[in-house]
Structure 1
């Protein structure tokens, strides 16, 4: 997810959407979450999501090439839709960085099925998922560099990005619980940027 000097990709739903098309994509992404809760990731298909959304399967496939693409889009929408918190420069760089890292790492933490699905889907070798990974990485990088300003080097920012994605991979493989992430990322930020952990 390193993002230095990379162009922002085209929208991951493949094209510019009219209002009607955007509503269809909204219905599909909402139905994907409901279908995940009902059936789990392994049983999820674009066809089953289309049925739940009341959309023809062929129409659904014009927007989403795979279930991985669909779930990755849900993650992107959740992350991108977060309210921007004001940056308080009186707080330490480590605390400002931790806020950004947790905003990313915990975006779906309260939704067990979705969190597990996102871990798998975002690793898919799929052109649309690669575009979304890039978009997500660019936005995380932008938020982190904006929060830190001159208080961190590019190497420090990249180290924090790696720590965050590494923590999420460990959650996805069952080696780390979501509730361990806040303390772990606070410690990583303090270690990289100096200062005490929260």
Structure 2
């Protein structure tokens, strides 16, 4: 069964066959990343591994940064659930922060590649960066019972903490698992004030 995200792309709504092609490309991108790193990743090499013509791959992804950002968006939207309404606010925030941090845990070189890719200036990457930010803000707002359109200072602070934590982990200073627990601890400190 496919999710709504698997049927969309940065550039357009996808047919079932197109969605399958994009899924093959994003899966192949992770394999190439783990074998060659971000520097060795190319849309062409991903297309070859996925069994897709390079021209077809470029109709979906304008650059390797766009491709990696799409992988992250798909993993994030599938891996960060709505906060548990029966849990306390602190537990809900912890759930969201853990899930955001663990989306790329154990994925080899994907985390570092996501950090580099999301800092890119390509319009398709910028579109995904905004979509990712809005998604995480909404999840945190749901956890806090806050308004994502008019965020509280606490929501703003939590966004800064997760963004810094993920960049820190993406640079290889700590694992995503360690980052997850540090994010949760920082959130608890903020929420206790």
Q: Provide TM-score, normalisation by structure 2.
A: 0.87
Question: Matches of 1:135 and 1:90 in 2, distance apart?
Answer: 26
2:128 — aligned with what? 132
Residue aligning to 2:159: 161
Answer 1 or 2: which has greater helix percent.
Answer: 2
Partners of 1:87 and 1:96 within 8 A in 2: yes
CA contact (8 A) 2:10 2:127 kept: no
Q: Deviations over 1:111-155 (max 9, x none)?
A: 121111111111111111111111111111111111221599621
Q: CA deviation at 1:165?
A: 0.6
Q: After superposition, where does 1:138-153 map in structure 2 within 5 Å?
A: 138-149=134-145
Contact 1:94 1:194 in 2 (8 A): no
1:170 and 1:82 map into 2 onto residues whose CA distance is 20
Give secondary structure in 1 for the equivalent of 2:10. Answer: coil
SS at match of 1:112: coil
Separation in structure 1 between the aligned mates of residue 95 and residue 120 of structure 2, nearest angstrom: 28
- Aligned pair in 2 of structure 1 residues 57, 90: CA closer, same or farther (>3 Å)? closer
CA distance in 2 between counterparts of 1:177 and 1:20 reads 36
Q: CA RMSD in A?
A: 2.1
1:6 counterpart residue number: none
Contact kept in structure 2, 1:119 and 1:169, CA below 8 Å: yes
Moved over 4 A (4+): 150-153
Residue 187 of structure 1 and its aligned partner are, at CA, apart by 2.1
Which has the larger displacement, 160-169 or 150-159? 150-159
Q: 1:29 to 1:159 in 2, by over 3 A?
A: same
Change beyond 3 A, Cα 1:83–1:175: closer
Q: Which runs of 5+ in 2 are unaligned?
A: 1-7
Provide closer, same or farther for how the CA distance between residues 89 and 194 of structure 1 changes in structure 2, counting only shifts above 3 A: farther
**Which structure carries more relative contact order (alpha carbon 8 Å, separation 6+)?**
1
Counterpart CA distance in 2 for 1:138 and 1:119 is 17
Counterparts in 2 of 1:117 and 1:147: CA distance versus 1, 3 Å:
same
